[in-house]
Structure 1
Amino acid sequence: MLNLFISLPKDRREAAKIEKARQYEETRKNRIFNPRIRLIGVDKDALKKQMAEKKARDEDEKAREEAHRLKLLRDNEIALELEKEVVKRRRKLDEEINEFRLQYQRKEDRRDFDLYDPDYLKKSLPARVMDDDPRLSISGAQKFEGEDMEANKRKKYQMEQQKIWLQQQIDERIQAEKDKKLAEFAYDEMVLARDERSKQLESLENECKRQLDEATARFNQALSAEQATQRRMQEMRDLEDKRAEIYNAITGDFLTENPDTAISCLGLNRIIGSQYKGMHPHEKEAIRKEQLQQIEENKMKREAEKKLESDWAELSNYMLSTVALNEQEIKKRQRELNRQLYEQNKLLCMQQRKNKELTEEFVKSAGATEEFYNQFNKSTR
């Protein structure tokens, strides 16, 4: 469902104002409802003394803090100087150690250097230099009948093939880097698209909330106008009733001293002394008209109430339908966004799997060379 209870900055400010007012009210209650403060008051001298003591404590605390701050600054400066001196001495010592190693601890001067000399094979002679090498003997097993005399050509061909393989590996590595950059670019595009979708959904939700607020405001205005109309009608009816009451009182038999009020109910010719006020046909007709008017007014009032209830029900149905349509649209767009994200993630996963396979193939095919091992044991770090 549509979440209408999102905490906005305006809502947080209103909540802060309400909390501040509540705290102020609680403080005011404590001050007013405290009989000691209300009846006796407070000791101004004691308050002044407390304020002076508090001010003195604050000044002492500030002085201690300032002294502590200055001490920390001095300690930091001393520590920085000491650290610079230690770094300088350590650097000088390292330079002296490296200089000593370069002069007196060279690997060429070691007794067992010939055992791990990387150029030992380059310096030593091969077992067979030529076919008529005088070092060759019968038991040396260096020369046989039917030997391949195309060894030099074959070696040259093998070197060319190794160059081709190396160039192919370089091309594959360059292509792998390009594929990696393309994958990173696609991922960045996907992230930007996802952020744009999120912004669109947020704007849509704000628009729905704005429309709902406008519909509520229109309903409140209509309800306020209807209530004002009812109040005016009630005031008019009350005014008419008062006018009728005044008119009846003025034109009544009691003030007009109608002689017919003295006629007895036991006979038309009998008169009583209590000034009986009888009812004439025209008075009954007036009462009947008033009753009919009241009946008509009650009928109009019930029709107005029915109309108000129907308007309220119509507005409620409209608001519910609007919210339902907006919720369906949001769900539809969310499903479409989830589907697009799934497709993009699926494509990205395939691309990453392909890159991983190419990387593993490159790692397996590219073995470690002598240059890789020669980069170690070059310094003290």
Structure 2
Amino acid sequence: MLKFQLMTEKDKREAAYIERKRMQEEERKKRLFNPRVRLIGIDKDALEAQVQEKKRLEAEKKRIDDIFENELKKADEIAVALEQKEKEEVKKLKKEINEFRKNFQKTEDRREFDLNDPNGMKKQLPCRLHDDDPRLGPSSAQKFEGEDLVSEERLKVQRDQIKAWLSQQLIEKEQAEKERKLAEDAYKAAVIARDHRAIELANIEKNCRRKLEEATTKYNLALAEEKCKSQMTKRQQTLEDNTAEIYNTMMSELLTESPDVAQSNMGPGKKIAYSYKGMSEEEKLQVRKDQMAQAEEARKKKQQEERNQREFDEYINGTQKSVYLMDLEIERKKREERKKIAEENLRLAEEQRNRKKFLDKIVYMNRATDEYFDQFNKSTR
């Protein structure tokens, strides 16, 4: 192990240089002794395709994350809004409860207020008002008597007091129960009012949609009625035009049988198309002669085409036969060539076996051991 406290700056630089060279040599070994990198190299196109695919996947992942994040934000906003609304309702209910307690459950109205009254000592009566004071008992040290003369009255007062206390407790309990029910009814009424408001808004929306659909239906009916009226007007106009045309045709020279009506002033051979009544017998005979001549010409043309087709078919058959003979000749030459190649391969295989036998038994008698090969590829230099 090196003792750096005894090394000079030059020694440190030399050690750093040696370490750097050693690392470079190790990197060079990894690069040169890797046959894949040395012989094949790096597929740049494949790496670029992988990079592009990775970028595409990252972009797709980012797009999905953005969509999920937007949906999550919307859900959070809705949850926050609902939570805020619930908090407002709870706050409102607590405020109403506190108002009720402030107005109807004051401290001085409690049954045990006299025990916690700060002015209780001021409100107390003196120890003795008169001789018949019922508060003066044996331990009062105010009046010493041998018997309790007012015990029945005192017990009656105590029973009345206990009865009054019980009645007050029942009234207070009923009042508390009534107040609790009133608070619950108020909360339920608020929830029902909110639901009714939502239903009312939904009904308003349905009514608006229904009215919009009714308006659209009325508009479509008006368009259909207008279209029907337009079509009826158009049919009526067409009927009137056809009637006028029929009347004009009947009153014109079109239906007359005179061939002179079709004679045009442009020349002796010219005809007026809309007044033309047909051909004469001479014209029909001439047309018949022309048709016969055309039929004869078509028959001759068809015979010539059939003769040409037969000649073409004979030419094609001869050509196909020649091609078939040429294919047979080529196939025969290929068979002969494959046979020669097979014979040549057999001869080369025999020569190779003889040469390998010569090398194994005569030339390569002294084979190298593993120690000989282990001395190579120890360094990149």
TM-score, scaled to structure 1: 0.27
Larger Rg: 2
Higher RCO structure (Cα 8 Å, ≥6 apart): 1
